[in-house]
Amino acid sequence: MMDISQERIPSIRPLNNYVLVEPIVRTDEVEYKTLKLYFDNRFDRAQYQPVVCRVMACCKHIIYDPVKIRKSTPVIDQITKQKRTDVSWEPRYPNTMPWKTKKKVKYDDICWINYYPIVRAEDEHDETVIVYSGKKKYYLIHYSEIYCVKRKDDVIMLNGWILVQPIKSEKILREESLKKLGIVFPTQPKEQSLDKYGIVKYIGEPIEEYEDEYFCGGDDDLVQVGDTVRFAMEYNRRLEQSPVFRWFSGDELIVTRRRNLLGICQMAKVMS
């Protein structure tokens, strides 16, 4: 493990769409009154990752290059023992963005990032993206993994993500009120699987162009803050997975993409 002195951290210059971030919320400890409780955060990787970070440095430019090149790789079939050629298409440049967007991240911004790159880096002990400095850890995160940044009182959504406040059905509200009274339904489905509707709280600029085989063109600009939207459930995720660590606003918020919205709707009441 390579340990970099704290004085050298500001000299790191990320390249190729990467951002250097420092976690600012420890998710392996909880303070309760005068007590500080420590626990093993490995049992639920999604909920207990340091997804709230401070930007320490950012790449100079955002690189978007949709051009693919043909790559031929000679291999030997393990069954027939005969030679064959596997053909694949790869980006012309490594680590290019999967969509066309503008760089909006600055030094000292507070950002919210996808938990999975951190889980993967920790599981693989990947020192290419983990920077050690004494007891501190820094991460080199790809720009596409950042949901949003806070800059003082401004919230800037990135990469086509939007923040939606879920509208809970009457059934869920009843179950929550009973739970506060100590009555728990052991067979109740996970609440996250029931999210269908929400009110748009924060939204950024639409993506100009996507580069993938499943989606062509860019985002539309019809959705606005305050709209009630119906979104695809399989793409739902909490901005802050754990109910213990709500650093954004204290509210439960769902992060989803414009491209995953199914429609804008008018509704006075959400039924169970």
pLDDT of residue 218: 83
Q: What are the structure tokens assigned to 188, written together?
A: 């109740």
User: Domains in the chain and their CATH numbers?
Assistant: 10-62+100-159 (2.30.33.40), 63-96 (no CATH), 160-272 (2.30.33.40)
Task: Return the HEC string of 232-247.
Answer: CHHHCCECCCCCCCCC
CA proximity to 22, closest of 10, 34, 37: 10
Per the rule left: phi > 0, alpha: psi between -120 and 50, beta: everything else, 199 is beta
Distance of CA 105 to the CA centre of its chain: 15
Q: What are the structure tokens assigned to 163, written together?
A: 């923040």
pLDDT of residue 181: 66
pLDDT of residue 267: 60
pLDDT of residue 157: 95
Task: State if pTM tops 0.85.
Answer: no
Low-confidence residues of the chain: pLDDT under 70: 1-2, 32, 39, 41-42, 169-195, 213-216, 243, 267-272
Give the model confidence (pLDDT) of 11-41 as tens digits: 999 999 999 999 998 777 777 677 777 767 6
Strands 228-231 and 261-265: antiparallel
Residues 6+ apart with CB under 8 A from 55: 19, 20, 21, 105, 106, 107, 108, 109, 110, 111, 149
Per the rule left: phi > 0, alpha: psi between -120 and 50, beta: everything else, 51 is alpha
Query: Are 236 and 197 a contacting pair, CB within 8 Å?
Result: no
Helix, strand, or coil (residue 215): coil
pLDDT of residue 174: 63
Other C-beta atoms lying within 10 Å of the C-beta of residue 85: 8
